[in-house]
Structure 1
Amino acid sequence: MLNKKNIKNRIKNRGMTSPELILAIMMLSTFTAVFVLVTEFISGFFQPLNDEAREEFIKAEKDLTDVLQDHITINETIDKVIDLFSQPGIDRSYFVNLSCTSLPKEEWDIPSLESNFPKNYQLCIKPAFPENSYQSLQKMESRPGIYILYAKPINGITFNSLPLRRIFCRPKPFCSL
């Protein structure tokens, strides 16, 4: 028969034995060694391999721009350009002569724009479906034009420059929602 004293003696915690302690220390050191090896291996991907690459990396960091601020400026510029270009008073032949530019205010002669367009982007416009004459639009014989206004990075797509684009319809009175 089991009494309380006998049960307490059986459950009594006497700590780890020497083989258990040695096994626990070996497992802890093995885990730590694997952790350090994996960390060193992964950290190799986040730093340049040699001095030349490091110099290029430092130079690229100096050329970093604020992508968010660039996109805000570009979107504000695109909004103003779309407001102007979607008006029926602008002739459709005007868009044929427009080329990509980093200075849309000066080269496209738009006085309402600000001069702070990012220098590492170009603003371009391409007709997806150019409109027909104003007279055929009035007679409902044709549809309005669809244009793509986009800002592309001059040096290509990188981690600090991404393209933006917007599609708009013109002339605005003939565009339906």
Structure 2
Amino acid sequence: MTLLEMVVAMMMLVMFTGVVVAVLEVTSRFAGEVESAQQGGNGVLIDHQEIQIGLDQLAEVLGQPGISKDRLNGLVTGYPQIAFASSTDPGQACAPADSDPLQVWRLPGPKLLFPPGYRICVWTTGLVEASTEALVRRDAGAKAGIYVLQALPERSDAASLPTRRLFCRPRPFC
């Protein structure tokens, strides 16, 4: 190998190493921003699984026939409104982030823990729940209601995904 070939090989090695280092610096900067945005989180997949488990438990509680439709819609005084038929404001229809939605809505059930930075919301759909009396009598056109549970992240980025779950209530009539 001649001296000229060795100098060219060394220059190619230095250029390759420089490109690798530059790419690693850029990717580590972006990865650091994503990870710092999710303070206290366990990663997207683990957080998503925890949200799905929590939404399942919340749907079980909200689907019970012991919780009346009037209480869900806020018609019973002394209880906070849970589902909003016409509201599109998440500030009104959602439990605050980092809180147990069952405690906020004063419902019985196990303590639910969701990943930090997610608000839990309940929305009604076009399939409105009939009265309990009509469901028990099996009146024509009396159907159970369909609701949407939604976990909305406070910040929308690659480290947090919105999640939703449909559920039917009251469960015996679904």
2:42 to 66, 71, 78: 66
Structure-2 separation of matches of 1:158 and 1:118: 15
Q: Is the 8 A contact 1:132 1:143 kept in 2?
A: yes
- The gaps in structure 1 that reach 5 residues or longer are 1-17
Structure 1 partner of 2:87 = none
CA contact 2:121–2:150 (8 Å) conserved in 1: yes
The equivalent residue for 1:173 is: 172
Higher fraction of helix: 1
The alignment status of 1:100 with 2:76, answered yes or no, reads no
Instruction: For residue 25 of structure 1, report the CA deviation from its aligned partner.
Output: 3.4
Q: 1:95 touches 1:125 (CA, 8 Å); kept in 2?
A: no
SS at match of 1:140: coil
d(CA) in 2 for partners of 1:61, 1:82: 29
The superposition leaves residues 69-96 of structure 1 with CA deviations (integer Å, 9 ceiling, x where unpaired) of: 5445433332222112222332223222
Aligned counterpart, 2:163: 164
Q: Which amino acid is 2:64 matched to?
A: Q
Aligned counterpart, 1:79:
56
Query: Structure 1 vs Structure 2: percent identity of aligned residues?
Result: 28
- For residue 28 of structure 1, report the CA deviation from its aligned partner: 2.8
Aligned residue pairs total 148
Largest Rg, 1 or 2: 1
5+ residue gaps, structure 2: 74-80, 83-92
The CA deviation at 1:147 is 0.8
Partners of 2:50 and 2:62 lie apart in 1 by: 18
Give the superposition deviation at 1:36.
Answer: 2.1
- AA at the equivalent of 2:24: S
